[in-house]
Amino acid sequence: MKRAASWLLALGSVAASAAAQDAALTAAPTATTAVSACVACHSDPARVQRAEAREPVANLADDIHAQRGLSCHDCHGGRPDVDLAAPDAQARAHDATAGYVGRPAPADGPAFCGRCHSDAATMARFNPDARVDQETKYRTSVHGERLAKGDTKVASCISCHGRHPGGEKSAALAHGIRAVGDPQSPVHPLNVAATCGRCHGDAQYMAEYGIPTDQREEYEHSVHRAALVEKEDLAAPTCNDCHGNHGARPPEVESMAFVCGTCHAKQAELFRQTKMKPAFDEAELGECIVCHGNHGIVAPSDELLFHAPLAEGEAQTGCYTCHPDASDAALAISTAVHADLGALEGRIAEARATLADADAKGMPVAEAEYELTGATDALVEARALVHLFRHEPVAEACTRGTKVADSALAQGHAAIEAFYFRHRWLGVSLLGIAFVVLSLWLKLRQVDRRWRASAPAGPAAR
Amino acid sequence: MTSSSPAPESPRSPLQRFLDERLGLASLRALLEHKTVPEHRHAFWYVWGGMVLFLFLVQVATGILLLLYYRPGAGEAYESVQFIVTRVRWGWLVRSLHSISANLLMLALLVHLASVFFLRAYRRPRELTWVTGVGLFFVFITFGFSGYLLPWNQLAFFATSVGTEVPRAIPWVGPFLVKLIRGGPDVTGATLSRFYGLHVAILPATTTLLLGAHLYLVQRHGMSVPRDVEEKGPPMPFYPNFLLRDMIGWFVALGVLVTIIVLAPTAPMGALFPFDALFDPKHLLELGTKADPFASAPEGIKPEWSFLFMYQTLKLLPAKLAGVDGETLGVLGFGAGAAVLLLVPFLDRGASGLPPNAFSRVGGAVVVALGLVLAGLGTWSMHVLGHPLGVAGGLVAAAWIVVSVLLDGRRAGRRAGPSLLFPSLGWLAVAFIVVMTVIGRIS
């Protein structure tokens, strides 16, 4: 009877409910810390038997929203101040006319979160610098576009920001959302690859989309991941740095150099100056990734420019991938560039080893070591200039670097020579000192004998 | 020593005659020829004064050469020293000689001070010779402290920051003194300028005065012969017999100096024993990195060996002792120790055969108590560090002070013979300094 009455009440007030929901959607959160009826009820197993229904309150402590003073009704509406002892407490609390929204449908998730996160005035209360374009961006993402078309398998807010108590593969739970900077947040830089990989690494889940599912596996072996995880450089790129996060989509072929150039600005700028750029665009080649790869990008090596004769079954790499003909003029450039870079690198290594040897011998070579950093800078510059695909600029930088390395090397040799000179000098000095001491001692014996022979007996007065 | 008026001699050449008429060289020569040195079983210790003088002259000569290139100032000091050791011909040798000979000078000075103390050569009428000598000791300590900062490297910067903080513990005037020494609230370029002025002007001028007075007094009173030592025979002529002994010592010291300088940078630890066990010449010769006030202090930073016992003592003192700040007590204690050292000839009347004064009698009890406390503290600290040798050392020190003071009391009662209180006090101080330095080095 009570249940029927509740339904009748709800049906009867449908118009009022729609208006109230609109009001709730636009109302600013109240940011209260008082224990609401929602929390009291949903934490009480006697009132709420389903564990799933108690989960929101159980994880409230970890939730950034709760930590900022928000409570259930700030998102879900309803009446948080009902008297739980009243027989119609649940109906009053869950009253749609009071703006109550239960679990939003997947398609409504972005709008549900966007009520606050797209509202600059609301967000400014918690973080004056907070972004409010997440929902807008999401609508432009592949995820957002597919969701709009009714594909509810795609990721929305909770998929990435929610909690996955059962591990990577478990379903996302909306409560217990941590701050992005929290190392336990699934969208913390160290966890992003795992979060994206939860879906994108699942071949069965992704089967209907026809896209590869080995991105995460490739990324795990990449130089970017090594920088992020092993060097603990949180600025190193993970999935969202190249694909975007809320507006995630694969970069277009023409914009690849811009994406990589976000960090590798010099290389991207140089590449855009070359005739390779329009040629790549025309051939619909993905610029940087053609030579360097994408998800599994490894540390670039000078070997990309030159490859010794391949072993049986070995794949071509670098320039040879597109220029396999040995008589190709482009290979003459890459071979010359490779030789220049190798020569400079070798000279720097030789200078560094010589200076280390001198340093181990206790010779002061700090100035030369500092000078050698000029050669390393030139090598870095020369490697960047490779992206011009011309020999002259690289040769010029390498020549400059070699001069510096030669100077440091010469200082290292001079220091080592000085070390041995000092030892020879010490030997000669000690011989000279020994000779003088011996001479003085012989003279002393002589004068002592003369003195004792001539001295009167008996001690002198004190 | 005995000396008599010089016998005039005829100059042997026109040049000598010319110089003699104007400079009185004949008198100087006669003075040298008539100066003598006592000959007895402890005469070996007489060479240490000359050794200090020789090493000081090395300091003066190398210091003047360094001045030609050194530029004071936080922006230039480090670079100028780097220039000296890398670009200036033989600059590395001059800088190394200055740095290492400063340490050998301190060692020779300590041996000289200890030998004069234990031979009780400070007794009447040589009290002022002692006072000027101890004054020179304090001046050379200040030379070392001020010179250490001049390369303006990281280690020197932080060591000076710690060292100049110590006077803050002195009641009432501490903060003012710290500001005065640093030229401001912190160690900055102003401190460097101040230390430079101290190192190359104020201290050399003070040294000239004190050294002149010291040498004059040595010349006036001659070398002291211990009261209970018999001379072997007639005194030895200073020139050439004793001077030749001195010169042999100087050349040996020169050999040691150049050996340390050349071998230390690559010698394994222990190869230059005892020098590397004491002051780590390798570390002294390294210039390190330029001072950066915003960098964190180098790990395990410690003061130089000559200040290590003070640092270690202050470190081991509890925060509060009888309600008084432990560091304040420590600093005041060292100040009192320095005052006692300076006034030893006036306090140790027994050394001159005079009846013991109030200090010897009443102060004896205080010294015994202090000795026992220090021995106990040393034992305790070494026990905490888990070094059994330290425990044994502390017990031996305690036993020594008790026995010697009992003997001193008996002798003082008879008013015969020199008091043993001061030698005991000296040995206790030596043991204390050695133990604290060793703890400082190994901890």
Which residues 18-57 of B are in CB contact (within 8 Å) with A? 36, 38
Q: What is the ipTM of this complex?
A: 0.83
Confidence of residue A281 (pLDDT cuts 50, 70, 90): confident
Bond before A237 cis per omega within 30 degrees:
no
State the pLDDT at residue A447. Answer: 93
> Which residues on A lie below 8 Å from B251 (Cβ)?
433, 436-437, 440
Rg (CA), chain B: 24
Question: How far is the C-alpha of B134 from the C-alpha of B297, rounded, in Å?
Answer: 34
Contacts of B263 in chain A (CB under 8 A): 426
Determine whether the interchain pair A462/B225 forms a contact, defined as Cβ–Cβ distance below 8 Å.
Answer: yes
pLDDT at B366: 63
Question: Long-range contacts for A433-438 (Cβ within 8 Å, ≥24 apart)?
Answer: A433/B251, A433/B252, A433/B254, A433/B255, A433/B258, A434/B255, A436/B251, A437/B248, A437/B251, A437/B252, A437/B255
What are the tokens at A397?
């930088």
Q: Which of B225, B235, B241 sits opposite A448 (nearest CB)?
A: B241
pLDDT of A220 > 70? The answer is yes
CB contact, 8 Å: B209 with chain A? no
Domains along the sequence of chain B with CATH: 1-34 (no CATH), 45-304+319-345 (1.20.810.10), 348-443 (no CATH)
What are the tokens at B21? Answer: 């008429």
Chain A residues near residue B230 by CB distance under 8 angstroms: 459
Q: What is the pLDDT of residue B382?
A: 59
**What are the structure tokens assigned to B6, written together?**
């010089």
Tell me whether B285 touches chain A (CB under 8 Å): yes
- The DSSP-derived string for A337-357 is HHHHHHHHHHHHHHHHHHHHH
Residue B37 forms beta bridges with which residues?
A: B236
Q: Which tokens sit at A403?
A: 């001069």
pLDDT score of A461 more than 70 = no
Contacts A363 to B, Cβ<8 Å: 265
Instruction: Give 3-state DSSP helix, strand, coil % of chain A, rounded to 5.
Output: 60, 0, 40
**C-alpha span between A111 and A115 (Å, rounded):** 6
Highest mean pLDDT, choosing among A256-270, A429-443, B425-439: A429-443
Nearest chain B CA: its distance from A416 CA (Å): 12
Are A459 and B232 contacting, i.e. CB atoms less than 8 angstroms apart?
yes
CA B440 – CA B159 distance, rounded (Å): 14
Q: List B236's β-bridge partners, or say none.
A: B37
Rounded to whole angstroms, how far apart are CA atoms A196 and A240? 9
Give, in degrees to the nearest 5, the angle at Cα A58 between A57 and A64: 70
Amino acid at A31: A
Tokens of B407: 């003997």
**Which among B2, B244, B289 has CB closest to A460?**
B2
Tokens of B185: 């609230």
Residue A256 has what pLDDT? 75
CB nearest B248 (choices: A366, A437, A447):
A437
Q: Which residue has the tokens 């700028």?
A: A269
- Rounded to whole angstroms, the Cα distance separating B335 from B328 reads 10
> Distance from B288 to chain A by nearest Cα, in Å?
9
**Higher confidence at residue B90 or residue A27?**
B90
Grouping H, G, I as helix, E, B as strand and the rest as coil, residue A409 is helix
Nearest beta carbon to residue B85 from set A364, A461, A462: A364
pLDDT at A10 over 60: no
Nearest-angstrom CA–CA distance, B443 and B432 = 16
Residue count of chain A: 462
Contact across the interface for B265 and A362, Cβ inside 8 Å: yes
Residues of chain B found within 8 Å of residue A362, distances taken between Cβ atoms: 264-266, 282, 285-286
**What tokens appear for A132 in the block?**
């409010």
How far is residue B443's CA from residue B433's CA, in Å, rounded to a whole number? 15
CA distances from A224 to A22, A23, A263, A308, A364 (A): 45, 46, 12, 27, 37
Distance from CA of B273 to the nearest CA of A (A): 18
d(CA A124, CA A398): 52
Mean pLDDT across chain A: 85
Residue B36, strand partner residues: B237
Which residues does B87 contact at the CB level (< 8 Å), separation at least 6? none
Structure token pair of residue B367: 């010294």
Query: Which chain A residue's Cα is nearest to B265?
Result: A362
How far is the C-alpha of B69 from the C-alpha of A70, rounded, in Å?
69
Report the percentage of chain A scoring pLDDT > 70: 86
* Contact across the interface for B248 and A444, Cβ inside 8 Å: yes
Give how far Cα A248 sits from Cα of A174, A236, A242, Å: 21, 18, 9
Q: What is the pLDDT of residues A52-81, one digit of tens each?
A: 888 888 888 888 998 888 888 888 989 888
Using CA atoms, how far residue B186 sits from A234, B171, B181, B283, in Å, is 37, 19, 10, 25
Residues making up chain B, counted from first to last: 443
Give the per-residue pLDDT at B370.
64
Q: Which residues pair with residue A173 across a beta bridge?
A: A163
Cα–Cα dist B105/B54, whole Å:
9
| Contact state of A426 with B287 under an 8 Å Cβ cutoff | no
Rounded to an integer, what distance in angstroms lies between the CA atom of residue B66 and that of residue B374? 42
- Spatial CB neighbours of B358, under 8 Å, sequence gap ≥ 6: none
Q: How far is A102 from chain B (nearest CA, A)?
A: 56
CA distance B212 to chain A (A): 24
Please give the pLDDT value at position B187: 95
Chain A residues with a Cβ under 8 Å from any Cβ in chain B: 360-364, 366-367, 422-423, 425-426, 429-430, 433-434, 436-437, 440-441, 443-444, 447-448, 451-452, 455-462
Q: Which of A24, A44, A27, A34 is nearest to A89 (CA)?
A: A44
Q: Is the Cβ of B85 closer than 8 Å to some Cβ of chain A?
A: yes
pLDDT tens digits for B23-36?
Answer: 888 888 888 888 89
Residue with tokens 């703006």, as numbered in its chain: A99
Number of neighbours of residue A28 by Cβ within 10 angstroms: 12
Residues 6+ apart with CB under 8 A from A237: A224, A228, A263
Tell me the pairing of strands B320-321 and B324-325.
antiparallel
Least confident of A78-87, A112-121, A436-445: A78-87
Measure the CA–CA gap between A209 and A393, rounded to whole angstroms: 45
Q: In the prediction, which pLDDT does A7 show?
A: 38
Helix ranges (DSSP H) in B24-125: 25-34, 47-67, 77-86, 91-118
- What separation in angstroms does the CA of A434 have from each of B58, B93, B235? 19, 20, 29
> How close B254 gets to chain A, by Cα (Å)?
8
- Long-range own/partner contacts, residues B112-117 (CB < 8 A, 24 or more apart): B112/B45, B112/B48, B112/B49, B112/B51, B112/B52, B113/B137, B114/B426, B114/B430, B115/B42, B115/B45, B115/B48, B116/B45, B116/B224, B117/B344, B117/B422, B117/B426
Nearest to B262 among A426, A457, A459 (CB): A426
Nearest to A368 by CA among A305, A412, A424: A412
Q: What is the pLDDT of residue A168?
A: 60
Sort out which chain B residues have CB atoms less than 8 A from A440's CB and list them. 244, 247-248, 251
Alpha helices, H only, B264-295 = 275-278, 281-285
What value does the CA radius of gyration of chain A take, rounded to a whole number of Å?
38
**Positions of chain B with pLDDT under 50:** 1-7, 415-417
Is A352:A372 a contact under the CB 8 Å cutoff? yes
Where residue A33 falls among pLDDT bands split at 50, 70, 90?
very low
Which of A122-131, A334-343, A384-393, B253-262 comes out lowest in average pLDDT? A122-131
Residue with the bigger pLDDT between A99 and B133: it is B133
Residue B323 tokens read as 């309600």
Handedness of CA B220, B223, B226, B227 (dihedral sign): negative
pLDDT of residue A34: 54
- pLDDT above 60 for A320: yes
Cβ contacts of B127 within 8 Å, gap of 6 or more: B345, B346
Residue B433 one-letter amino acid? I
